[in-house]
Chains A and B, each alone.
Chain A
């Protein structure tokens, strides 16, 4: 089954065949807003880190285009690369998410301030350990299935379910815990 968007495939073919910059830029603009948002959430609002993830992702993606069989949606494939780039940066010790109150404020500031539950939720997601956060963000925020997450992370779907179970539990524990409120700033 071919799940690729025809427009993505046409652009990717031009990039692959001739290194066409205009085609790449079009592809980039179709997918980078969502990719950047995913990276920001994986990186707990660290903008330079998220930019590094996005740039590495596109380099890996273009390098690997010839091997992409279009059996998954381009977005899913790209998100998988982004998650692996994020894990690579974590292994390199970049962004260990030791969230103090300023870190929490950074998460909210980066992803857009909002009152009440949403601020608490952003903070609770950001406070999760990286592994738990990636599964929760991919499944509960980005809407990927356990099967897709399993392919992205190189794990079994059952492992993804189990990690999500623990991630949700930790997120709820954080939400139930009294903590400092982050003031709303600016317009949403």
Chain B
């Protein structure tokens, strides 16, 4: 193309690059596509035994989620058990307002978190979760400078995280609000995971 006007101007190039990514595909589309492929004999449905095993693993994961205090578990149900929706990270912080369980009542707290996580797993909303260690965090800063980040009073400490699936941010926030963590004065940061 020899005509210089055929090329994009820097402004046009920038505007095109900044076009919004658009919405996530609707959750029903994945199921409809899988059903269409099954109907054509191109996909085989998982056997009943495998489905039950997967559900059992999800439940086991949810029950084993919490050890002491806050948090979470390993990778939850297999991706195929989950609806097609965006994934969100719930970052669980313990600040000055967080009320740890009194001595001897840790198990009760664990059961409460586990029940909540089990409910999420049963609904196919739980993807993963981990409890983070209680020791001071190590921060690797600019130019590789390393320092420790004390988990002292006054600064919120990241104690664990969940990865959940939700149709939109409003639903993710709704799920977070139901987590026992906020009832005990903890806070949860909700962030959408950008698909890559």
Contact = CB atoms under 8 A, between A and B. Distances in A.
Contacts of B79: 22, 25-26, 29
A21 B25 CA distance: 19
Interface string A19-47: 11110111011001101110011000001
A57 to B, nearest CB: 9
A22 B33 contact: no
A55 B33 contact: yes
Contact of A32 (B1, B6, B25, B46): B25
The DSSP consensus for interface residues of chain A is helix
Contacts of A24: 34, 37, 43
A55 B20 contact: no
A61 to B, nearest CB: 10
A176 interface: no
A2 B42 CA distance: 25
Given A15-B43, A62-B43, A118-B20, A22 B29 contact: no
B43 to A, nearest CB: 5
Interface residues of B, number: 36
Interface residues of A, number: 42
B44 A62 contact: no
B3 interface: yes
Interface of A: 15, 18-22, 24-26, 28-29, 32-33, 35-37, 40-41, 47, 51, 54-55, 58-59, 62-63, 110-112, 114, 117-118, 121-122, 140-141, 161, 164-165, 168-169, 188
